[in-house]
Structures are given as C-alpha cells and as structure tokens.
Amino acid sequence: MTMDSLLQQLQTYVIPTPGRAPIAFVRGEGMKLWDVEGRCYTDFLAGIAVCGLGHCHPKVVEAIQKQAATLMHTSNLYIIPPQMELAERLAGTCDLKRSFFANSGAEANEAAIKIARKYGRTHGGESKTRIIAAHNSFHGRTTGALAATGQPKYQSAFEPLIPGFTFVDYADAAAVARAMDDTVCAVLVEPIQGESGVRVPPDGYLTELRKLCDRYDALLMLDEVQTGLGRTGYWYGYMHDGAIPDVMTLAKSLGGGFPIGAALVNDRANVLVAGDHASTFGGNHLACAAANAALQAIAEEGMVENSRQVGAYALEQFRGLAAKHGQIRDVRGRGLMLGIEVSDESAQDLNKGLFARGYIANAIGTAVLRILPPLTVNREDVDGFVSALDDCLSAPR
C-alpha cells in the first residue's frame, strides 16, 4: 500500500464525495495518528469529534474484541442485553430516560423528526406538524435530516425535500418566538452550531426556547450529536443552560469510534410504539458493547471534567494568540469544542501550516479553524498546538 496506489483506487473506484485531502492514516493511539508513510501527527480533530476517548482506547478495543468473538448481531426482533445496559447507562448521564438506537447522527435525527411529527399529530392533528430549525444548522445528509439543515448549499440539488420546516436565525430566541404558533410540533437546534463555525448562543437561549415550547405544546429537540458526551465540558451541551430538552440526539463519540447513534426522549416525547420505527443494525450487540465501554471510560477517567478544565486553558491560550495576532477576529467555544475566526481568509492556510508542523485540525471555509481534540488532551498537548499555531500565524502568507 502506497499513497500512489491509494490515490489511484480513490480516483477509479470511489464516488468522489465528500472531498478528501490526499492523506491516509493507518494507525492511531490516544492523541497520535500515523500516516501511510509513517509520519506521526497529534490529533486536534478526533475524527470530527468521534474519537472523544482518543484513538483505540484500550477499554473500547477490549470490549469490541470480546463482543465480536461472542455475538455481533441478532436484530431488534429480540432483546439485546448490551443495548439494555447502554439505555440504562445513558439515562444515568442525563435527564432523559428512554433511548432508540440507530447508526449515525443523521439517523438519530430522522427518529427525532418522526417523534416530533407523531407528537404533533397526536396533540393537535394534521396541522401541528411544523418544525422550527435554524439557519446554518447541520443535522445530517439523509433527506429528512437534510430538510432540517438550514444550508441551501447542501439542499438545493436534492429538492424536493420533505416539507414542514421553518428556518429562523440561530441564537435568536425572539426569532423563534415570532415563528411559533399552534402548528409547531417541535423546535430543533444544536446547543452550539458545529459545522457552520462553532457558533455559541448567548446564555439563556435554550431556556427561552424551553419556555416557548411549553407555551405552544411543542417538543424541544436538541441535536447533541457533536456537543454531547463531554465535548463542551458537561455531559451534554444543554447542561450549560439547564434547560432540559424533550428529545436529544447523539452519535459521533457515543461508540468511542464505532458507529452508533441514539435518540433519547422523556416521558412526554415517548410517543413511538411497536412498528412505528426501526433500524436493522441500530443498537446491535457489537455497537452497544463499544458504547458501554466508552461511557464507562468517560466517567471513570474524568474526561468530562478534563474537557472543561483543559478546554478553558486552551481558550485562554488562544485568546493570548488573538492579542498577539491581529488577524484573529474571534476565539470561541465551550469545553473542547473550540473555534478561531480569522479576518484574512487564512483558515485553510493555517490548517495546512498546522498539518506541516504535525498537527491535525479542521478549517471551516476560509474563516474558521475548528479544534476538537480527544477529551483526554492535556495542557502540554495544548501548549504544543498553540506554539505551532503561533508559528503559522507569524509565517508570511
């Protein structure tokens, strides 16, 4: 296997979406990744927030190996013991009690959309099926989740999308209030918008949405696919505001690197009954064994606390860089979900510069550098990253 042979296979046999960098990683351990040519990198992206425990966490690896050799899949026609354990574990981490398991974030959101529509129809008839979502949101690429994604650049080629979504400005509770009426069955937002540039809403935003949902008998649905499971310094993004949602979706780091998604509901949103919804692979033995081990490791190893503390340290260091480099317009985020906005369209160049210095991050467009390290990152790792970024910011363009 060489880079040339991989590029040849990519160009010949793989549908060219998404766009990819010509880089192939072949091994990972903790914060480290190695590429096909043997070069080592420090990972501040964690597979876009999937490898929250770092790469190949030994407890997750052991659980997968053991479960793979015991029983991988039987279908949801039967009780799946690791799924029962996972549902109980998840209930212990948040204010919602019941879970439906899927395989990805988009699929978790599909479940949420169906829950919203069924809730609305039950409570207000056919007219109560409208869902309010936010401009610049990201909820996934399947057609339902895409219909909820307020970004025409992802939607327009695939229209007509499923109807019934109203988009309002993010982080603006008054805009939701103006769009609200009795035809709304749910409000769906991310606690922090990730894919559109780490947009943090003002304090109290979710609390206001909670009140509006209560007033109009609508569900508050939070997409915590990216913000969930310790990423923002609390178990869930909603815990910053203390506004408890009716529905919450998870995926990304839930399986410690293994694909699994979930939609969680409280009693009010527990509307699906046998036959309403299903997923062949969703919550099978193997995926749930991985997720049980991941949740256990997050709790036992204090990763949520580490995310809060090291995240605050990183934010402070980035603010130090902003004071030194005029091209930094804004530094923002919570926990280990961080963004640095630049005013000179240099985000892609900075990302390439970091890569040349052995660090993996992510550029969103030309304006924002996104930083999502494993929750195990320490201050020395952050210092190394900050010093590499300082170097990139000082380099002539």
**Residues touching ligand PLP, count (CB under 6 A):** 14
Tell me if 223 sits within 8 A of 188, measured CB to CB: yes
Residues 187-206 that bind ligand PLP (CB under 6 A): 190, 194-195
Q: Taking CB under 6 A as the rule, does residue 225 contact ligand PLP?
A: yes
Report the residue number, 102 or 328, with the smaller CB distance to ligand PLP. 102
Helix axes 285-300, 303-324, angle to 10 degrees: 70
CB of 276 to ligand PLP, least distance (A): 21
Q: Is 208 in the site for ligand PLP (CB under 6 A)?
A: no
Q: Is 53 in the site for ligand PLP (CB under 6 A)?
A: no
Single residue of 119, 138, 235, 236 touching ligand PLP by CB under 6 A: 138
226 binds ligand PLP (CB under 6 A): yes
Q: What distance in Å separates the CA atoms of residue 197 and residue 195, rounded to the nearest whole number?
A: 6
110 binds ligand PLP (CB under 6 A): no
Cβ contacts of residue 201 below 8 Å, gap of 6+?
Answer: 170, 171, 191, 192
Q: Which long-range contacts (CB under 8 A, 24 or more apart) does 88-91 make?
A: 89/292, 89/295, 89/296, 90/250, 90/262, 90/264, 90/295, 91/264
The answer to whether residue 385 is catalytic is no
Nearest to 153 by CA among 169, 137, 164: 137
Under 8 Å between Cβ of 30 and 22: no
CB 226 within 8 A of CB 237: no
CB-wise, 226 or 292, nearer to ligand PLP?
226
In contact, 206 and 218? CB cutoff 8 Å: no
Residue 363: how many CB atoms within 10 A of its CB? 18
| 140 near ligand PLP, judged by CB under 6 A | yes
Is 252 in the active site? yes
Judge whether 223 counts as a catalytic residue.
Answer: yes
Give the nearest distance from C-beta 365 to ligand PLP in angstroms.
Answer: 15
Residues from 236 through 255 that contact ligand PLP (CB under 6 A)? 251
Among the listed residues 44, 100, 101, 138, the single catalytic one is 138
Q: Which residues bind ligand PLP (CB under 6 A)?
A: 104-106, 109, 138-140, 190, 194-195, 223, 225-226, 251
Which residues are part of the catalytic machinery?
138, 223, 252
